[in-house]
Amino acid sequence: MISYKIIDLFAGIGGIRLGFEQAAHQLNIPIDCVFTSEIDKYCQITYQANFGSANIHGDITNIDPVDIPTHDILLAGFPCQPFSQASLKEGFADRRGTLFFNIEQILRTKKTKAFLLENVKHLKGHDKGRTFLVIIQTLKDLGYNVYHAVLNAKDFGLPQNRERLFIVGCLDKNTLFNFPTADNKPTSVADVLIDYVDKKYIISDKLWLGHQRRKLEHQQKGNGFGYRLFLKQSLYTNTLSARYYKDGSEILIDSGGKANPRKLTPRECARLQGFPDDFLIKVSDIQAYKKFGNSVPVNVINKLAYSILSSLII
């Protein structure tokens, strides 16, 4: 029977691994995660609660590629902050930006059969496209067929407008990989909402007035910045970000005039990212908002993983 060993780098709370395991189960392919690397202690708490504590390591820069177990597929949501539209966009000048080359060293050393990398879509345009060209050429120089595409969570059954860049590589030149096509399943914000929510998630009068004041100021300046209000029947939300814990401004749920708008709960954020309700949340609300905001849309990963695994077994 065909089986695959995977490694999960910059693992976060395990969204990429989860999507891969789901796809492997759908294809009846045994899959074993033999190595995980994640530096953030709160991510580690959530990861261990859901996947167990075996084979979890910290800072990948302190690990010699030779010491990483032999594996078939490398998964990595490598840090996006250096390339994000919301950051300083320093790219490889930022230490986190150089972490791509840790991935490169592992691929070079282990001759991994295939990989899936995830990042923000703005990586493609960073430094006028030069950063992305370096990444793609580096991967090609290692002998991989390299594919890349920007996929949106709202096209794969999640009510969130979340575009992410995915890079897939296959070492066997005869492997034919195709990105999954959008399933265009109808969605609405109601799909992720909980019926009864604690009052603590309703924003205060002070915060609500502040949101309204700032939005008016932006409108007077001629731009569209400011809070965004969503109804149950809205087709999708804005992108959930790691800063959501601060004021919830990018996704506020309308109360129908019964109260001030409210923030999503951590469980609703999990649902918005495609995590099942049995996914355990063992950290504070603040940390949960950060971790789900930094995670990946599991539905998209599931479809990608299905395509990758299917191409490998043909």
Which residues are identified as catalytic? 80
Characterize the bridge pairing of strands 114-120 and 73-76.
Answer: parallel
Q: Which amino acid is at 178?
A: N
3-state class percentages of the chain: helix first, strand second, coil last, to nearest 5: 45, 15, 40
CA angle 129, 17, 190 (to 5 degrees): 85
Question: For 84-114, b where at least 16 C-beta lie within 10 A, e where not — what string?
Answer: beeeebebbebebbebbbbbbebbeebebbb
Characterize the bridge pairing of strands 252-253 and 73-76.
Answer: unpaired
* C-alpha R_g of the chain: 20
CA angle 94, 96, 99 (to 5 degrees): 120
**Whether the Cβ atoms of residue 162 and residue 297 lie closer than 8 Å to each other:** yes
